[in-house]
Amino acid sequence: MKKSTLVVISLISSLFVFSCSENKVSNGDKYYNDSQFDQAIAEYSNELKYAPNDVRVLYHRGRAHEELGNFDEAESDFEAALDLDPNNFQVLLSLANLHHKEKNYTNALLFSNRAAEIPGAPAMASFMKARALHQMGKTDDALKAYSNAITLDKDFGQAYYNRGLLKIGIKNVKGACEDFQLSSALEYPGAAEAFKKYCK
């Protein structure tokens, strides 16, 4: 899995904690945290027999499926969680990330845009919207969305890095180098190498 994808997944996972059962650590969570994803799925499935509308458990089972590459099952769980909690940033962004990994950039944009339009949306929503637009060749809109992510979070190293790559593509080398430098200062992986490659 690409390093950038791992960073995105890590950021999504740490964005929000579900209410209701947020302090509860289930057996499924223990297996998940130990990277025993098959066992985690079995435990989450057992929990869902007794609480089929538990958004947290549905989400975490989806994440366990995603870790195993079971993208259809992951999508099904995320969609079920979203039906129960339509404005859940974590679920929306996980769906966006899942579709991005499958190169379905239209759906990635759909879910990230939904997240970005919710009042109080995190910087990650704008970033993932920008990333989908970037892949779709919508350069101006992608630049705006990357810039919005940076406005919301001045320490978003990956947003500076990706915006820098986009600027390289449109021959704005000076702007790209500024972004790579800022990203490098924030210790984002690959930023220092990009600066050396394009800015020396």
SS (H, E, C) the chain: CCHHHHHHHHHHHHHCCCCCCCCCCCHHHHHHHCCCHHHHHHHHHHHHHHCCCCHHHHHHHHHHHHHCCCHHHHHHHHHHHHHHCCCCHHHHHHHHHHHHHCCCHHHHHHHHHHHHCCCCCCHHHHHHHHHHHHHCCCHHHHHHHHHHHHHHCCCCHHHHHHHHHHHHHCCCHHHHHHHHHHHHHCCCCCHHHHHHHHHC
* Sign of the alpha-carbon dihedral angle for 87, 139, 2, 102: positive
* pLDDT tens readout for residues 9-65: 444 554 434 433 445 678 899 999 999 999 999 999 999 999 999 999 999 999 999
pLDDT score at 19: 37
Q: What are the phi and psi torsion angles at 72 (to 5°)?
A: -65, -45
> How far is Cα 191 from Cα 158, in angstroms, rounded to an integer?
9
Burial (Cβ within 10 Å: 0-12, 13-18, ≥19) of residue 2: exposed
pLDDT score at 153: 97
pLDDT score at 5: 46
**Closest alpha carbon to 110 in 121, 96, 124:** 96
Residue 22, token pair as written in the block: 């947020």
Res. 2: pLDDT tops 80: no
pLDDT score at 44: 97
The pTM for the full model equals 0.84
Res. 3: pLDDT tops 60: no
pLDDT score at 6: 43
Q: What is the mean pLDDT of residues 148-177?
A: 97
**Closest alpha carbon to 145 in 172, 127, 124, 167:** 127
Res. 90: pLDDT tops 60: yes
pLDDT score at 8: 56
Mean pLDDT taken over the chain: 90
* pLDDT tens readout for residues 184-193: 999 999 999 9
Q: What is the mean pLDDT of residues 158-170?
A: 97
